């Protein structure tokens, strides 16, 4: 095969990594599974063989825009290609279908839904199909990113057209998803290729701002330095809205917001504006990107950490598809992990929630049921979001209990699952109307027995020469036959209940498998956190994760080039001798402070302690009595935060979770060695030039801090004050300070108001209940006495996964304790304010610390204070008649039950 000539016809000089091997296998007639990253050149792997060989290649593609872009590109190269989809009128569709039969095209792009059409299936059979290419093949698996029911039916379609050679392509697929693809498509000994994940033009960077306000500041700084086109990804729509307002206020460049809830026309308008550079910047949820081939994309920023390495690299890989240098910046905070855990919990509903959804759908008296996921969730008021409802529907459909139906714009549908060769003969001779309709249906369905076939009522009426009213009556009678299932016309998304008489216990749903998949999602979350915290080459981490055999160091990422947190080498050459001593002193103080707090506080509290802050959080925990308190008070907290971050990057400090969502700082073994040594020049390679120069310029009166004992004494504390999980301080009114990284002293089990001891640092004996760590040289750093049950105390494991699913009210309360405001909680939880009030009331009743100011305004609190003096917090319903205007009974109940 003359590949160079073919490459020239495609305007290419050579293959990208991995393309040649896939194309060789396709040309040899093998079924293939091709896994290449976004921008890796997957399309050429089926386009070149389609041009090189006779016959038709049918390409299954999920997006109309993606089809059009690829076909336009092929037509510019003078290749015979077309697409057939709903953007064409019936005459255009018919003309292109006839051209396909005649052999006018080498490639025809279609959506998976097109394969439900009996006429199109007949046309495919009359065409010489030599290759079936399935793009975005992860959609086949219900555990892929974008499960679509019609993708799951591609195996049946492939079988019906004679099981032609097939190549399935995707940018991201776990081992589980790869197995699903091969199984559903019934591939014959497929050869799997994983390659091309090395993107040498991409510079991968991770930064860890100390708070959301610091994140915002860093983002604006970055946008100042990057003038090209870019995408900013955020985890929620609320975060996107915040970022759009932030960037617009800066007034430096046009920006647009893109999310899945927008109307199609609005999405199309924004996408076109972005592609034509009228809007160079898009802020989006992960809904934006599939099918976007903007080659000159200079940067991608992740404002929140995605939930997996796959999601991160698929989104980051949209930068630099023109081969020119591009940057991918991830701004990480521990709260990002909590958001992703919340998404996981919502994506894996409990058995009880799945049952409730099934019972609700069975009881609905309309067929088909045209309710959105949001409407079903609102009707049921279950403790899961819309993603959980979608998964419930997926499980019920897989069990054969329901069928999900895509928008068909007033089309009716029929499914006939009867083997009889002459269907009208099954009916009495006197049932003339029914026999006529059955004869018409038999012709309509053809050999698509067992498949749902959509049809136009008007055209069907014309074909059988009957009025639709008569046809509808006949159809209602025909559905009484086992094996005949009719769904009336509908417009939007709909659900058809297949087994209305079945009990939930009869359904075959593997909840053990569901739990295994949930754990797998947590494992993927662990992997992205490890990637974020890694000090190795970030590209190497990516290549090893995906199993790419061509692994190499990139020399471009922050860890390779030193352009991230640890900026420059040779900083010491730019400092005077006294400057080096001052930097060394600051490093020693920071390490000593971490050692003296024994891995029991987070970054922010550590910084506040080192700078001698007046924060009310410090005194109850006796941090103001530690020897390193205020030793860096001449420095701004921002500088000390950067210093601590760079010590974390260097590995001399470690950030872990004492309990779930409570990251704490520990000194590592290497850090303790450094603390006990003379000046080590490696420090000046780890500390950035700007931080080092600030320290050298600012500090004076330095004195080497005492080295704390390696193994602190453990004492019984008979009078230790009980510390609730909020005892560090009440959430301040300012949103940004409320949303800063949470700190922990002791190991706060957030499902209980009492505090359990944390795992001590790596070289310290584990604490037990009723104990407090103290050293001979400083006051005791106390943990709380508790009578919490054994399962509520903190184990030494760092595994953040919950032992069991938390109740709905817990997640609502959890968001408020992490500093989110009511409007943000509504967005994340997808419930209304009355439900939030109700869930917080339950949380208060269960003993969780709650703040009245989370829900109630100052005016409401003042009015309620007038009408209910002296009423105890545990009063149930007294005084409801006295509720002032502007306060609902639910809010009043919350006022009575809340902690303060």
Q: How confident is the model at residue 287 (pLDDT cuts 50, 70, 90)?
A: low
Tell me the torsion sign for CA atoms 617, 620, 626, 630.
positive
Query: Looking at the predicted structure, is the pLDDT value of residue 130 above 50?
Result: yes
Q: Which residue has the higher pLDDT, 782 or 40?
A: 40
Q: What is the pLDDT of residue 33?
A: 93
Least confident of 226-235, 480-489, 530-539, 564-573: 564-573
Q: Is 35 left (phi over 0), alpha (psi -120 to 50) or beta?
A: beta
Residue-by-residue DSSP string for 784-848: ------GGGSPPS------SSPPPHHHHHHHHHHTT--HHHHHHHHT--HHHHHHHHHHHHHTT-
Query: Looking at the predicted structure, is the pLDDT value of residue 589 above 80?
Result: yes
Query: Looking at the predicted structure, is the pLDDT value of residue 355 above 80?
Result: yes
- Cα separation, 311 vs 512, in Å, equals 25
Interaxial angle between packed helices 808-817 and 822-829, expressed in degrees from 0 to 180 and rounded to the nearest 10 = 140
- Cα separation, 242 vs 341, in Å, equals 22
- Summarised one tens digit per residue, pLDDT across range 412-463 is 889 898 888 888 988 998 999 999 999 999 988 887 788 888 888 888 999 9
- Summarised one tens digit per residue, pLDDT across range 151-207 is 878 888 898 888 999 999 988 777 778 888 899 899 988 999 988 788 889 999 999
Least confident of 14-18, 126-130, 285-289, 620-624: 285-289
Query: Is cis: bond before 368, omega within 30 of 0?
Result: yes
- Summarised one tens digit per residue, pLDDT across range 535-566 is 778 998 898 888 887 788 888 898 887 543 33
Q: What is the pLDDT of residue 733?
A: 33
Q: Which residue has the higher pLDDT, 108 or 834?
A: 108
Give the rounded percent of residues in the chain with a pLDDT score beyond 90.
Answer: 26
- Cα separation, 527 vs 537, in Å, equals 15
Query: Looking at the predicted structure, is the pLDDT value of residue 99 above 70?
Result: yes
Q: What is the pLDDT of residue 569?
A: 35
Least confident of 94-98, 173-177, 349-353, 542-546: 173-177
Q: Which residue has the higher pLDDT, 822 or 774?
A: 822
Query: Looking at the predicted structure, is the pLDDT value of residue 745 above 50?
Result: no
Distances (CA, A) of 795 to 624, 662, 747, 806: 28, 14, 10, 18
Cβ within 8 Å of residue 473, ≥6 positions away:
433
Residue-by-residue DSSP string for 639-700: HHHHHHHHHHHHTSEEEEEEETTEEEEEE-HHHHHHHTSS--TTHHHHS-HHHHHHHHHH--
Sheet arrangement for strand 81-84: 81-84, 107-110, 56-60, 129-134, 166-170, 32-35, 191-194
Q: How confident is the model at residue 790 (pLDDT cuts 50, 70, 90)?
A: very low
Tell me what the mean pLDDT of segment 530-535 comes to. Answer: 82
Give the rounded percent of residues in the chain with a pLDDT score beyond 70.
Answer: 81
Single out the residue of 373, 25, 329 nearest to residue 169, CA to CA.
Answer: 25
Tell me what the mean pLDDT of segment 75-92 comes to. Answer: 89
CB 489 within 8 A of CB 449: no
- Cα separation, 284 vs 302, in Å, equals 10
Kind of pairing between the strands at 411-416 and 452-455: antiparallel
């Amino acid at each position: 095969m003359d590949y160079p000539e073919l490459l020239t016809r495609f305007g290419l000089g050579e293959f990208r990594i991995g393309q040649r091997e896939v194309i060789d296998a396709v040309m040899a007639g093998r079924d293939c599974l091709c896994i290449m990253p976004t921008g890796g050149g997957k399309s050429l792997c089926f386009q070149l063989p389609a041009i090189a060989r006779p016959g038709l290649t049918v390409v299954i593609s999920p997006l109309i825009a993606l089809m059009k872009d690829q076909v336009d590109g092929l037509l510019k190269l003078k290749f015979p290609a077309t697409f057939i989809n709903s953007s064409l009128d019936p005459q255009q569709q018919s003309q292109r279908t006839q051209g396909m039969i005649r052999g006018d095209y080498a490639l025809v792009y279609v959506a998976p839904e097109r394969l439900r059409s009996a006429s199109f299936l007949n046309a495919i059979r009359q065409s010489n199909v030599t290759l079936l290419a399935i793009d975005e093949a992860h959609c086949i698996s219900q555990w892929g990113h974008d499960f679509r029911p019609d993708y799951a039916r591609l195996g049946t379609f492939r079988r019906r057209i004679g099981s032609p050679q097939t190549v399935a392509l995707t940018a991201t697929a776990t081992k589980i998803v790869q197995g699903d693809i091969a199984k559903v498509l019934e591939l014959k000994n497929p050869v799997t290729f994983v390659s091309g994940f090395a993107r040498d033009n991409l510079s991968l960077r991770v930064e860890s701002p100390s708070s959301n306000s610091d994140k915002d500041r860093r983002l604006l700084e970055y946008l100042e330095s990057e003038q090209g086109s870019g995408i900013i990804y955020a985890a929620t729509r609320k975060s996107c809205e915040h970022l759009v307002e932030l960037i617009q206020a800066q007034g430096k460049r046009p920006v647009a917001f893109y999310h899945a809830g927008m109307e199609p026309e609005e999405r199309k308008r924004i996408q076109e504006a972005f592609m034509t550079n009228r809007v160079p910047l898009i802020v989006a949820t992960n809904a934006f990107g599939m099918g976007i081939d903007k080659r000159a994309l200079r940067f991608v920023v992740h404002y929140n950490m995605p939930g997996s390495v796959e999601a991160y690299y698929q989104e980051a890989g949209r930068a630099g598809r023109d081969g020119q240098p591009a940057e991918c910046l991830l701004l990480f905070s521990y709260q990002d992990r909590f958001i992703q855990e919340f998404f996981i919990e919502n994506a894996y509903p409990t058995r009880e929630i799945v049952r409730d959804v099934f019972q609700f759908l069975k009881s609905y008296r309309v067929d088909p049921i045209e309710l959105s996921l949001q409407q079903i969730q609102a009707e049921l008021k279950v403790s899961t979001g819309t993603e959980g409802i979608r998964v419930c529907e997926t499980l019920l459909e897989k069990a054969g209990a329901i069928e999900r139906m895509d928008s068909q714009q007033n089309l009716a549908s029929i499914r006939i699952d009867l083997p009889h060769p002459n269907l009208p003969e099954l009916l009495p001779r006197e049932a003339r109307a029914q026999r006529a309709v059955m004869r018409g249906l038999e012709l309509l369905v053809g050999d698509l027995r067992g498949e749902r076939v959509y049809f136009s009522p008007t055209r069907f009426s014309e074909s059988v020469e009957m009025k639709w009213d008569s046809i509808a009556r006949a159809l209602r009678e025909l559905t009484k036959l086992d094996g005949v299932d009719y769904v009336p016309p509908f417009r939007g998304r709909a659900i058809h209940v297949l087994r209305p008489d079945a009990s939930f216990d009869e359904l075959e749903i593997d909840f053990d498998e569901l739990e295994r998949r949930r754990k797998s999602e947590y494992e993927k979350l662990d992997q992205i956190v490890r990637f974020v915290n890694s000090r190795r080459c970030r590209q190497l981490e990516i290549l090893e994760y995906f199993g790419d055999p061509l692994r190499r160091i990139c020399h471009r990422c922050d860890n390779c080039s030193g352009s991230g947190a640890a900026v420059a080498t040779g900083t010491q050459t730019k400092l005077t001798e006294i400057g080096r001593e001052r930097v060394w002193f600051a490093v020693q103080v920071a390490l000593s402070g971490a050692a003296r707090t024994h891995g029991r506080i987070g970054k922010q509290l550590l910084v506040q302690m080192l700078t001698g802050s007046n924060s009310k959080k410090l005194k109850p925990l006796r941090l103001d009595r530690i020897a390193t308190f205020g030793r860096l008070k001449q420095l701004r907290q921002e500088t000390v935060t950067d210093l601590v971050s760079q010590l974390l990057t260097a590995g001399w400090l470690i950030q872990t979770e004492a309990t779930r969502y409570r990251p704490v700082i520990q000194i590592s073994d290497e850090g303790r060695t450094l603390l006990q040594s003379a000046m080590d020049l490696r420090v000046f390679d780890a500390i950035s030039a700007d931080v080092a120069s600030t320290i050298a310029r600012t500090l004076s009166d330095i004195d080497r801090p005492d080295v704390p004992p390696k193994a602190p004494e453990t004492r019984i504390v008979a009078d230790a004050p009980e510390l609730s999980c909020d005892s560090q301080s009440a959430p301040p009114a300012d949103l940004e300070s409320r949303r800063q990284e949470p700190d922990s002293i002791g190991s706060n089990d957030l499902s209980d108001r009492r505090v359990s001891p944390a795992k001590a640092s790596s070289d310290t004996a584990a604490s037990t209940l009723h104990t407090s760590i103290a050293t001979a040289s400083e006051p005791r750093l106390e943990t709380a006495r508790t009578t919490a049950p054994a399962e509520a105390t903190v184990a030494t494991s760092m595994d953040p996964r919950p032992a069991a699913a938390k109740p709905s009210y817990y997640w609502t309360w959890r968001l408020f304790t992490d500093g989110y405001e009511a409007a943000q909680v509504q967005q994340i939880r997808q419930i209304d304010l009355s439900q939030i009030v109700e869930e917080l009331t339950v949380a208060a009743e269960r003993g969780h610390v709650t703040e009245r100011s989370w829900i109630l305004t100052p005016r409401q609190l003042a009015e309620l204070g007038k009408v209910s003096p002296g009423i105890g917090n545990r009063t149930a319903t007294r005084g409801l008649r006295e509720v002032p205007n502007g306060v609902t009974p639910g809010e009043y109940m919350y006022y009575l039950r809340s902690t303060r």
